[in-house]
Amino acid sequence: MLRRLRRESGFGLIELLIAMLLLNIAFLALLATFSSGTIAIRRAARTSTASSLADSQMELYRGLKYSSIALDQTLVNATDTTYRNDSALGGSTSNDIPCTTTLTASVTANAVAQPVTAASMTNIVAGSSLTVDTGASAETVSVSAVTSTTFTAIFTKNHSSGATVQAAQCGSGLNQSNPSRSLTGPDGHPYRVDTYITSLTPTSGRAGKLVTVVVRDGSNLTGSALARVATDVDASTAS
């Protein structure tokens, strides 16, 4: 028994410490693998949700007429630097497809349709509806005819020069005309959906519009975009 106790075979203190150190290194490496895997899965889940939100936003424009694809210029002007510095604008400070304009002369109510002059005829087409003015003087009119500078409609109220003329599809409560909106995704994470509508004229082609939807992490707007979807729309193919 004494000879067996005096034997030096088996683990010594130094060997035991080395074994424990190696086990710790292995466990730390395994923990790092699990941690990076969790981060990758979370990132993939957010990217997938962002792509779904971008597709949903783009679907809003696929159901609109070409002339109705526009953004509320007042809301565009109120966007932050993150929105305005995006590459979708190509260096511009704002989108160049507005959905609001103004009257350049006063209008007197009349039961007969009358032509009025607008500062811009972009997106004003015959058959469309327009909201003219704000407050108590606001009314919605139906456009019966257009020229390069005027549109014809029946006005039941008086409107002063400079009154706002807004397409029916515009307004802060309508997602298709809102350039930037924050929402909570189905995963409970905050996202921001930014929409850009700019002019697009292909070489030797017809002028059209380029719609770009960018979805960002609502809790980290300075980071890379989670999803980016773009499509060009031609007047002859839009619904």
Ordered strands of the 110-117 beta sheet: 110-117, 150-155, 145-146
pLDDT tens-digit readout, 161-182: 999 998 876 765 678 888 999 9
Query: Residue 152: how many CB atoms within 10 A of its CB?
Result: 16
The first and second tokens of residue 115, run together, are 């032509």
CA 128, 134, 138: angle at the middle one, nearest 5?
A: 60
**Which pTM was predicted?**
0.67
Q: CA–CA separation, 86 vs 225, rounded Å?
A: 10
User: Residue 131 pLDDT more than 80?
Assistant: yes
Query: Residue 148: how many CB atoms within 10 A of its CB?
Result: 5
User: Residue 238 pLDDT more than 60?
Assistant: no
User: What pLDDT, on a 0 to 100 scale, did the predictor assign at position 158?
Assistant: 96
pLDDT tens-digit readout, 28-51: 777 777 666 667 777 888 899 999
Q: Look at the block and give the residue holding tokens 């980290």.
A: 220
- 30-59 CB burial, b ≥16 within 10 A, e <16: eeeeeeeeeeeeeeeebeebbeebbeebbe
Shortest CA distance to 139 belongs to which of 121, 162, 166, 170? Answer: 166
